[in-house]
Structure 1
Amino acid sequence: MTDHDEASAVRPSTLAWASRHLAPGERIVRTEALHGGITAEVRRLTIGTRDGGTRHLVLRSFVDPSSAASAEDWLTRESGALTVLAGTDVPAPALVAVDPSAAHCEYPSLLMTHRPGRTVLDDEGLEARVPLLARQLVAIHAVRPVERPREYVALTTAETVVVPKGADAAAWAAAIDVIREPAPSYEGRFLHRDFQPGNVLFDVPPGRPAGARITGVVDWAAASWGPADLDVSHCSTNLALLHGPAWGRRFAEAYEEAGGVLAAAASERLYWRVRDALACSEEVRSVAQPWREAGRTELTTRAVEERLDAYVTGLMGGPGDGAVSHH
């Protein structure tokens, strides 16, 4: 077995556990690290099949000691979400096996099928991808699970917000006041809870970025029940930071154009949008790092903070949000 990443190769008991979930005559012939996860190690396993071909599985292991306490909950939720999605047309991985308490593996682990495609984080072709992302999210929110996942958790408070250096103080103070209010009532939906370009896989024809199509939606560890606005706001914030503030506003429009329903009152929509943007203020560094590793080297922590400030200022009615520039 070869491994490009010997330092953190898959441990023997985890490999043995994964092997027990293969078809007769199959074996693991290769493991390789996939990048992009913040809390977990993600590996692609190449499986040799009986007829001499290969197929792929994905192994997610929570190896970070600081996440050990939450890993069982995350994996239980992810496996529950993948089970719910198995009967739908949402292109999620299929669950193969899960060991949330590390009873068999060195670390809490989940084994699932591999979805084709790749994440696309560059500006080129964005205009074509935004409606696809919006339609995909509408389809996720249309899922009606027999058993609801647990209620969403919003960890940000007015006290934990980190105001970026040089930010528009008045706009941020006004935004923080928005989330001091109690959360609006809402109609519950099945949420991904981390739906953003880093968790969506595309097939992009060479030289035709406008011909992109979605091939997979991954990372369901935070799946929960809550307002559609929360998922929309999260993707909006990510698009604003990746591609410029105006794209955050554009995504919410695209979601409604695709048939999605947001909160009726503008003040309620603002609450969820601001809440997600402010939550991002606490983790700009960890958000920006995978983007730089994926090739967006210009997205320094400072650059992302400046975009976040412009986005928040725009949400609060200031001059921070320009129109989407059509290339």
Structure 2
Amino acid sequence: MVTHENVGVLAADCGDPGWAGTRAWVEQQVGGGCRVEAAERLRGGWTSQMRRLRIGGPGEPRWLVLRSFVRPFFARHAEGLLTREADTLRLLGGTDVPAAAFHAVDATAAHCAHPSLLMSLLPGTVRVDEAEAALRTPLLARQLLGIHRLQVPAGARPRAYEAWAAPDRVRLPESTGRPDLWERAVDVIRREPPAYRPCFLHRDFHPGNVLFTGRGSDLRITGVVDWVETSWGPADLDVAHCSTALALLHGVGEGMRLADAYTAAGGALSDDPADHLYWRVLDALGFAPDAGKVGTPWRELGRDDLTPDLLASRLEDYLQELFRTFG
């Protein structure tokens, strides 16, 4: 399905340096004498530049999305990231998960100005506002469960998950008024990872990577994007990551609701509270010492209230609540 509704448009950028080669590659991949008639930046990205492309040719115009890694760090790692995402989109093409259809990839920038992936445009918008946040949480939980329930042949499984924090790598916030809380959190992940039943993980599932349409009773998820971190690992870790994001976006209460909504939908998480605490804290520590940086794309989408100080405070409040509930 093609729609003109998506994350906000910033500006047409067909004239960007290096765009001519990128456009030529896109047109070659599309074929049939089709042309790129317009290219517009999409808001809300953090790791990559997203363009919505209008493709003209025989018949009605259609829309595609071009994802490009422009930042030097991500460009250096683009071959692995984009190859993984391309493989995942191919895999998801035959499932009920609402992911984009894969078209082409130039993971090493052999033809494009930057490493890029071409895919279909999904309907919907990213919703990070406070309105109807409580309605979105159970939808997020059910969608995440659907991802975890995918049956993936052994030969098609993605890499094993990677932890984004470790006791010897965590940098604690310098300005915190609760240093004991952070030390306690680091102590939680000094143990060996708990045993788990592995499943297919998105690994970066959060509201910024989910598209919605409708309001109220018509609210629906219409797309899940950003599959570069797809992994094989514990469902607890995906739930933990989305929970941390919800706590930062909407407060501790919403962050704590996701796991309950996930199990209410039929999902299974660690029975041992200490094991569940491990995965939740492991993810939260991945945001240290600067939780405020994750607010950059959210502020671009209108959440000006999410200041670095507020996000730092919410992350500490969330850790405190995890210990109160599970520790």
The RMSD of aligned alpha carbons is: 1.6
Q: Percent identity?
A: 48
Identify the match of residue 33 of structure 1 among 22, 35, 41: 41
- Where does structure 2 lack aligned partners over 5 or more consecutive residues? 1-10
> Is 1:201 aligned with 2:208?
no
CA distance in 2, matches of 1:62, 1:289: 17
> Is 1:160 aligned with 2:169?
yes
Aligned ranges for residues 106-255 of structure 1 at < 5 Å? 106-146=113-153, 147-164=156-173, 165-204=175-214, 208-255=215-262
The corresponding residue for 1:94 is 101
Identify the match of residue 53 of structure 2 among 28, 31, 45: 45
CA distance in 2, matches of 1:240, 1:182: 26
CA distance in 1, matches of 2:209, 2:24: 28
1:4, CA displacement in angstroms? 2.4
CA distance in 1, matches of 2:93, 2:309: 41
Secondary structure of 1:281's partner?
coil
1:275, CA displacement in angstroms? 0.5
Paired residues of 1:199 and 1:219 also in contact (CA < 8 A): yes
Secondary structure of 2:321's partner?
helix
Write out per-residue CA displacement over residues 98-136 of structure 1, whole angstroms, 9 at most, x where no aligned residue. Answer: 111122222211000000100000111112111111000
Letter in 2 for 1:82: L
CA distance in 2, matches of 1:283, 1:140: 29
Secondary structure of 1:60's partner?
strand
CA distance in 2, matches of 1:68, 1:130: 33
Write out per-residue CA displacement over residues 179-220 of structure 1, whole angstroms, 9 at most, x where no aligned residue. Answer: 11111121111110110000000002xxx4443100100000
Secondary structure of 1:29's partner?
strand
Paired residues of 2:244 and 2:284 also in contact (CA < 8 A): yes
Letter in 1 for 2:300: E
CA distance in 2, matches of 1:9, 1:43: 15
1:26, CA displacement in angstroms? 2.1
The corresponding residue for 1:62 is 69
CA distance in 2, matches of 1:316, 1:117: 36
1:302, CA displacement in angstroms? 0.6
1:243, CA displacement in angstroms? 0.2
Paired residues of 2:14 and 2:39 also in contact (CA < 8 A): no
Letter in 2 for 1:26: C
CA distance in 1, matches of 2:48, 2:63: 19
Letter in 2 for 1:107: H
CA distance in 2, matches of 1:155, 1:241: 17
CA distance in 1, matches of 2:232, 2:192: 18
Paired residues of 1:34 and 1:44 also in contact (CA < 8 A): yes
1:6, CA displacement in angstroms? 6.0
Secondary structure of 1:280's partner?
coil
- Where does structure 1 lack aligned partners over 5 or more consecutive residues? 319-327
1:85, CA displacement in angstroms? 0.5
CA distance in 1, matches of 2:323, 2:89: 37
Alignment CA distance shift 1:227-1:270 (3 Å) = same
Alignment CA distance shift 1:48-1:39 (3 Å) = same
TM-score by length of 2: 0.91
1:62, CA displacement in angstroms? 1.0
Secondary structure of 2:24's partner?
helix
Alignment CA distance shift 1:198-1:60 (3 Å) = same
Letter in 1 for 2:181: A
1:150, CA displacement in angstroms? 0.4
The corresponding residue for 1:324 is none
* Structure 1 runs, 4 residues or longer, greater than 3 Å off: 5-10
